[in-house]
């Protein structure tokens, strides 16, 4: 029988929690295979060096060592690919220097791997690696994003000025004309600080080869096992794709850093056949700091032209984006397609132009990190808007209202078509829940205690649910961005769902089951969600870009449509009715206008006991799949309000309250959605107050451990007030969902910095860059005094 009330919209406790709470999860490092061997990578201690020779003879002879490999052994395999071709303004393709699996001739960042040691134990592998002798010729280093193109030191010969591409979007002439007649121009020089994702589970892999059937099995911490397999087999190792199984078991957080094809698992798969035994590798945290793709790292000039009434006339942006030493898998599209196309924000700015110069440096490769380009856009825009409000003496909320987009669909001047939205709704909600009316009294009370209080806004929008393949392809993507889902109905009426989405914290085993159980009229325990295994799941592009419910969920819905369509045929046969006269609702197939019906379980059994089926028209079985390519991005949006207290003597910032109002369209599990926002807020606040990746001028990573890189801890963060409005459901997917995984990280940094700058404005501080650590706040106060 059907569930009494719908499951969609309810905060159902998660099905996956039992194993995580009891220590029964299976993460990649938990796996030890029979005949296991252990891997350790020799990594460059230099940020930039040529090496003439690598002498592995002592290492190979060391106790317990089975093999030592360098790039010479890997001759003939391809480099790690980049999946998105960006073209420069002059039409030329981006520079794509080879990203070798193990360094060839040169190392280009501290941590760049040169050799793989495989031994009976990790201790022996590490000891052997210490015996490898490398003849380095240290080269000059380029680290600074803003100076890279002028540095005179080339990271790659093919890019003598370190420029990978110079890309642009928008109408430069229209923007220049608007600036010429503007009543006011707000100008901001702004940095988006480099971050290190730091999922608490380090990256890991365990690769094995079977001579019995000439096949490979790879366990790896991946957000997208099918993509991992395709890239590795087709573009790097030249292996038959169908003979390689990639399994991403329980994965302890990704945030983007586990999307990419990395050197380590690629080298392990290659080596597994040569060694003939399974090889296991797990990053130590210092390796994660050095080799997980970093995020953000933009240096920009933003200019906003306004009329005297505060109407935005044009936005002009120049950004230099740091790619690091090599192009990571999606690196090229992050500071372009996923960034500049969001510069309209929630506003009807008629003309926008953005130019992006992406540069190589001797640092860790940079790629998508929670938000991937959209946090950079939201931060730049919302800081600029708030500064304009201050300069024009217009209330920051009022300035935004004067410029909100109000008619949908809206074609922005930077290429996106927003399907629907209601930006007033979230702004009004956040003003109410944050008790902005009470702020002046709270500010006065803080002043009594010698503290400065400020509030800051961030009205963000983002584009997620990536992506329509035809749009992505036209913009340079070398892959499609559809999703796949398969529904297997068992003879007993239980259901297994195979999804190409991957859960590494998002709760799909629960939310997807809510969707399927609701539709089929089943109990949630009768639906099981399977993901993460290329041996079980038909295909998938994986989970990132807040796409799982919007794209993966829709693929499942379409497969459900097919299941129900076939179920109707089976029911029609059993009930001796015509297919068109059968309807399905609440778990029952019923002949319209009668009480003749069959339950879902009866139909399921009949599918596998197909007595008297008209086999020319109706096959046995009840198993359907669907691939869904989205019609558009989705556009979650919201308003965030941060209130802070700043101690002007110490620079310490305390967040008094953080209020978030989001429009995510329809919500399947409110508790899980809130949790996603909490996590995003923590990362965005971490960026604003604590985090920052620091390299010295020699390219040494100074912030290379949890002792040096300030991860937000419980005492660093307030409780959050997170609300959603009933909102504007997405118009182009059947669930009406927009996605929520990244919003918190996208909207929050500007709200925090705007609040701090509001608090400090009486002291003459107008801007400084993140993170707003006590020292940096104190420095800003002192600088303003001069």
Partner 1 sequence: MSVTIQLKVNGRPVSAEVRADTMLSTFLREQLRLTGTHVGCDTGSCGACTVHLDGRAVKSCNVLAAQAQGREVTTIEGVTPVDGSLHPMQAAFKACHGLQCGFCTPGMVMCAIDLVTHHEHATDEQIRAGLEGNLCRCTGYHNIVRAVAQAAKVMGR
Size of the site for partner 1 (CB under 8 A): 58
d(C-alpha 592, C-alpha 326), whole Å: 62
Tell me which stretch binds partner 1 (CB under 8 A): 172-180, 271-279, 384-392, 669-677: 669-677
Counting Cα atoms < 13 Å in the Cβ hemisphere of 360 gives 29
Q: Does 35 bind partner 1 (CB under 8 A)?
A: no
733: tokens are 């997917």
Judged by CB under 8 A, the residue of 526, 674, 691, 758 near partner 1 is: 674
Buried b (16+ CB within 10 A) or exposed e, 249-263: bbbbbbbbbbbbbbb
Judged by CB under 8 A, the residue of 23, 76, 593, 614 near partner 1 is: 23
CB of 345 to partner 1, least distance (A): 24
**C-beta closer to partner 1: residue 567 or 749:** 749
CB of 584 to partner 1, least distance (A): 33
Tell me which stretch binds partner 1 (CB under 8 A): 147-155, 157-165, 530-538, 701-709: 701-709
Residue with tokens 């299941």, as numbered in its chain: 563
CB of 221 to partner 1, least distance (A): 10
Binding mask 180-209 for partner 1 (x = CB under 8 A): ------------------xxxxx-------
CB neighbours of 629 closer than 8 A, spacing ≥ 6? 468, 469, 470, 480, 481, 482
Q: Does 18 bind partner 1 (CB under 8 A)?
A: yes
CB of 537 to partner 1, least distance (A): 19
Q: Does 679 bind partner 1 (CB under 8 A)?
A: yes
d(C-alpha 278, C-alpha 716), whole Å: 42
CB neighbours of 378 closer than 8 A, spacing ≥ 6? 342, 345, 458, 460, 461, 462, 746, 747, 749, 750
d(C-alpha 702, C-alpha 557), whole Å: 48
d(C-alpha 218, C-alpha 246), whole Å: 5
The alpha-carbon radius of gyration of the chain (Å, integer) is 27
CB of 193 to partner 1, least distance (A): 17
CB of 204 to partner 1, least distance (A): 10
For residues 171 and 340, is the Cβ–Cβ distance under 8 A?
Answer: no
Which among 62, 184, 52, 56 is positioned nearest to 116, based on CA atoms? 56
Judged by CB under 8 A, the residue of 363, 506, 554, 661 near partner 1 is: 506
Q: Does 643 bind partner 1 (CB under 8 A)?
A: no
Q: Does 19 bind partner 1 (CB under 8 A)?
A: yes
Instruction: Please say whether the dihedral angle defined by the alpha carbons of residues 424, 430, 433 and 436, taken in this order, is positive or negative.
Output: negative
CB of 128 to partner 1, least distance (A): 17
Q: Does 16 bind partner 1 (CB under 8 A)?
A: yes
**C-beta closer to partner 1: residue 721 or 732:** 721
d(C-alpha 390, C-alpha 562), whole Å: 56
Q: Does 706 bind partner 1 (CB under 8 A)?
A: yes
Judged by CB under 8 A, the residue of 4, 580, 615, 714 near partner 1 is: 714
Q: Does 17 bind partner 1 (CB under 8 A)?
A: yes
CB of 26 to partner 1, least distance (A): 8
Q: Return the bridge partners of 583, or none.
A: 590
Q: Apex CA 420: angle with CA 418 and CA 421, to 5°?
A: 105
Q: Does 548 bind partner 1 (CB under 8 A)?
A: no
Judged by CB under 8 A, the residue of 375, 636, 675, 747 near partner 1 is: 675
Q: Does 505 bind partner 1 (CB under 8 A)?
A: yes
Residue with tokens 């998105």, as numbered in its chain: 84
**Hey, which residues between 217 and 276 contact partner 1 (CB under 8 A)?**
250-253, 255
Burial of 7 (0-12, 13-18, 19+ CB in 10 A): buried
CB of 608 to partner 1, least distance (A): 31
CB neighbours of 719 closer than 8 A, spacing ≥ 6? none
CB of 123 to partner 1, least distance (A): 8
Q: Does 618 bind partner 1 (CB under 8 A)?
A: no
For residues 347 and 400, is the Cβ–Cβ distance under 8 A?
Answer: yes
Judged by CB under 8 A, the residue of 57, 470, 705, 766 near partner 1 is: 705
For residues 426 and 458, is the Cβ–Cβ distance under 8 A?
Answer: no
Given the rule CB under 8 A, which residues bind partner 1? 11, 13-14, 16-27, 29-30, 32, 123, 198-202, 250-253, 255, 284-286, 504-507, 671-672, 674-675, 678-683, 705-707, 711-715, 717, 719-720, 744
């Amino acid at each position: 029988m059907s569930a009494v009330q719908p499951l969609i919209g309810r905060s159902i406790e998660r099905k996956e929690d039992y194993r995580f709470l009891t220590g029964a999860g299976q993460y990649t490092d938990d796996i030890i295979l029979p005949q296991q061997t252990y891997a350790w990578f020799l990594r460059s201690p230099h940020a930039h060096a040529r090496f003439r020779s690598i002498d592995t003879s002592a290492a190979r002879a060391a106790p317990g060592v089975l093999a030592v490999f360098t790039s010479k052994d890997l001759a003939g395999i391809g480099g790690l690919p980049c999946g998105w071709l960006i073209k420069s303004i002059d039409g030329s393709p981006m520079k794509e220097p080879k990203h070798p699996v193990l360094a060839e001739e040169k190392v280009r960042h501290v941590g760049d791997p040169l050799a793989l040691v495989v031994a009976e134990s990790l201790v022996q592998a590490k000891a052997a690696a210490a015996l490898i002798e490398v003849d380095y010729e240290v080269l000059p280093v380029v680290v600074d994003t803003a100076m890279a193109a002028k540095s005179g030191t080339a990271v790659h010969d093919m890019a003598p000025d370190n420029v990978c591409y110079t890309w642009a979007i928008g109408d430069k002439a229209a923007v220049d004309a608007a600036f010429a007649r503007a009543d006011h121009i707000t100008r901001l020089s702004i940095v988006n600080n480099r971050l290190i994702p730091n999922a608490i589970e380090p990256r890991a892999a365990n690769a094995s080869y079977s001579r019995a059937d000439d096949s490979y099995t790879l366990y790896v911490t991946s957000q997208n096992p099918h993509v991992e397999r395709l890239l590795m087999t087709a573009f790097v190792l030249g292996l038959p794709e169908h003979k390689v199984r990639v399994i991403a078991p329980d994965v302890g957080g990704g945030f983007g850093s586990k999307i990419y094809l990395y050197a380590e698992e690629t080298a392990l798969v290659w080596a597994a056949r040569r060694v003939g035994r399974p090889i296991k590798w797990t990053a130590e945290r210092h390796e994660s700091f050095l080799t997980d793709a970093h995020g953000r790292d933009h240096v920009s000039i933003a200019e906003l032209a306004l009329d005297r009434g505060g109407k935005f006339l044009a936005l002009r942006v120049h950004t230099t984006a740091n790619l690091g030493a090599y192009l990571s898998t999606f690196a090229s599209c992050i500071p372009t397609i996923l960034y500049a196309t969001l510069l309209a924000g929630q506003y009807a700015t008629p003309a926008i132009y953005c130019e992006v110069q992406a540069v190589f440096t001797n640092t860790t490769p940079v790629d998508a990190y929670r938000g991937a380009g959209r946090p950079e856009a939201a931060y730049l825009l919302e800081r600029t808007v708030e500064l304009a409000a201050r300069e024009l003496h217009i209330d920051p909320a009022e300035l935004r209202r004067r410029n909100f987009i109000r008619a949908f669909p809206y074609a922005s001047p930077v290429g996106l078509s927003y399907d629907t939205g209601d930006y007033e709704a979230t702004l009004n909600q956040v003003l109410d829940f944050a008790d902005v009316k009470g702020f002046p009294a709270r500010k006065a009370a803080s002043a009594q205690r010698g503290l400065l209080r400020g509030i800051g806004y961030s009205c963000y929008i983002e584009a997620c649910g990536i992506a329509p393949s035809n749009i992505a392809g036209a913009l340079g993507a070398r892959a499609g961005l559809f999703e796949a889902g398969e529904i297997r109905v068992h003879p007993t009426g239980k259901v297994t769902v195979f999804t190409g989405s991957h859960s590494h914290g998002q709760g799909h085993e629960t939310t997807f089951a809510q969707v399927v159980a609701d539709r089929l009229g089943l109990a949630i325990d009768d639906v099981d969600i399977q993901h993460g295994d290329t041996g079980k799941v038909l295909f998938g592009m994986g989970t990132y870009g807040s796409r799982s419910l919007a794209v993966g969920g829709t693929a499942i819905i379409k497969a459900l449509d097919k299941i129900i369509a076939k179920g109707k045929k089976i029911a029609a046969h059993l009930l001796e009715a015509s297919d068109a006269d059968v309807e399905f609702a609440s778990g029952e197939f019923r002949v319209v206008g009668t009480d003749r019906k069959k339950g879902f379980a009866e139909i399921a059994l009949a599918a596998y006991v197909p007595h008297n089926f008209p086999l020319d028209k109706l096959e046995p079985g009840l198993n359907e799949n669907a691939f869904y390519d989205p019609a558009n991005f989705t556009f979650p949006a919201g308003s965030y309000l941060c209130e802070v207290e700043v101690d002007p003597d110490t620079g310490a910032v305390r967040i008094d309250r953080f209020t978030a109002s989001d429009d995510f369209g329809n919500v399947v599990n409110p508790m899980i959605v809130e949790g996603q926002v909490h996590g995003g807020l923590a990362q965005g606040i971490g960026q604003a107050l604590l985090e920052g990746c620091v390299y010295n001028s020699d390219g040494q990573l100074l912030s290379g451990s949890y002792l040096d890189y300030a991860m937000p801890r419980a005492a660093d963060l307030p409780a959050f007030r997170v609300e959603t409005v009933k909102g504007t459901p997405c118009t182009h997917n059947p669930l009406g969902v927009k996605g929520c995984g990244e919003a918190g990280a996208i909207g929050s940094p500007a709200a925090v910095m705007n609040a701090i700058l509001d608090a400090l404005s009486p002291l003459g501080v107008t801007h400084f860059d993140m993170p707003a650590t006590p020292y940096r706040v104190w420095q800003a106060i002192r600088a303003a005094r001069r």
